[in-house]
Amino acid sequence: MANTVNTSSKYIVDYGEPVGMIAAQSLGEPGTQMILRAFHFAGIESTIATSGLPRIVELVDARKKPETPITYVYLEGEYAKNINKAEVVLKKISEVKMSSVVRRVLENFSKGIIKLVLDTQALKANDLTPGQLSQKVAKKLDAATKVDSDGNILIKLKTKKLTEVRSISVKLMKDVVHGVEGAGKAMLQKDTKSGEFYIIAAGSNTEGIIGIEGVDKSRIYTNDVFAMYRQFGIEAARNTLVRELVTTLKEQKIRVDPRHLMIIADAMTYSGFIKGVGRHGLSGQKQSVFAKAAYEETVKHLVNAAAFSEIDNMRGVTENILVGKQIPIGTGSVHLAIKKEDMQKVKPESKHKK
């Protein structure tokens, strides 16, 4: 036991160790070896997701919307075991757009009428009836709708202007008629190990999904860091960041110690909200005027500093290199507690004398 403690304590980072720089180098160097937009192996999960360097950049820059959001929805109790019950949940989640249930759109500009020729098969598959759809459209557009004898929907618009009719019909096609808006197309998956069913959705509207009956609220996960932040808070966002970085690197068979990635994720989230690494995030919020000016937008920072008569306390690395001082990192982070001159005043203690 004592031995274990001893060994582990050897690996504790020393005071003044430039952990941030090492973390940056540990992620930056393998980044140069990564293949830009690699081809993926067959399989549903990885085919949709961005990977490689673009994904790393996306994460580290803290983009508000990831290029390919994915949500993993796990199910509770019976729902996870019974495929029929799981499919009910799937149908509630999976986003269905108007365009996928409509076969053709006929616009009558002179009368201001849009006629939707419905795809009956697609309707059935989504448990919709023309009547329901027509009510939804009526509510949405605030217009009179009617289902004709052929089962088509007729929409009587208030306007007859050509451009307006067209823009309404285009917008209408993008409307979500079923499922959770922003959840994307969802698929049912079976976990090969535990045999439980779970759902993968190509969106990140966790707020919408979490309220659906049968969804395990404690296990829902998305690769959208900001969605995780909104749903579960900053700690979850930090863990998501780490997890996403680790998996992205693992995919490319690049081995980086996860602790470096944790440092990066910590630096991005310590303030309580997610900050990117670049000019608008971490680097832009440095204390020192010189450090900011040395990074990007030199003149802007200098002028601002002058306008508000800022003081640079010379505590960081960049500004001390600029001036030519020893940097307060590593061997530069320690100082003599007593001045040299004062040492001479101290009389040697007689402790060691016999």
Q: Please state the closest distance from residue 155 (CB atom) to other proteins, in A.
A: 33
Q: Please state the closest distance from residue 28 (CB atom) to other proteins, in A.
A: 9
Q: Please state the closest distance from residue 336 (CB atom) to other proteins, in A.
A: 14
Residues engaged in binding other proteins (CB under 8 A): 16-18, 21-22, 24-25, 302-303, 306, 311, 317, 321-333
Q: Please state the closest distance from residue 169 (CB atom) to other proteins, in A.
A: 27
Question: Which is closer to other proteins, CB of 99 or CB of 283?
Answer: 283
Structure tokens that stand for 281 in this block: 């995030």
Question: Which is closer to other proteins, CB of 106 or CB of 334?
Answer: 334
Q: Please state the closest distance from residue 291 (CB atom) to other proteins, in A.
A: 13
CA distance 78 to 349: 78
End-to-end CA distance of the chain: give it in Å, rounded.
40
Q: Going edge to edge, which strands form the sheet with 197-201? A: 186-190, 197-201, 71-74, 221-222
Backbone phi and psi for residue 185, each to the nearest 5 degrees, phi listed first: -70, 130
Question: Which is closer to other proteins, CB of 335 or CB of 351?
Answer: 335
CA distance 265 to 241: 6
List CB contacts of 213: < 8 A, sequence separation 6 or more.
89
CA distance 284 to 288: 10
Q: Please state the closest distance from residue 312 (CB atom) to other proteins, in A.
A: 9
Q: Please state the closest distance from residue 284 (CB atom) to other proteins, in A.
A: 19
Distance of CA 96 to the CA centre of its chain: 23
Structure tokens that stand for 169 in this block: 């019909």
Question: Which is closer to other proteins, CB of 18 or CB of 234?
Answer: 18
List CB contacts of 154: < 8 A, sequence separation 6 or more.
113, 114, 115, 116, 145, 146, 147, 148
Question: Which is closer to other proteins, CB of 87 or CB of 312?
Answer: 312
Question: Which is closer to other proteins, CB of 176 or CB of 327?
Answer: 327
CA distance 20 to 258: 13
CA distance 88 to 91: 5
Question: Which is closer to other proteins, CB of 22 or CB of 147?
Answer: 22
Residue at token pair 């795809």: 119
Question: Which is closer to other proteins, CB of 22 or CB of 143?
Answer: 22
Q: Please state the closest distance from residue 318 (CB atom) to other proteins, in A.
A: 9
CA distance 57 to 245: 10
Which residues on adjacent β-strands are paired with residue 126? none
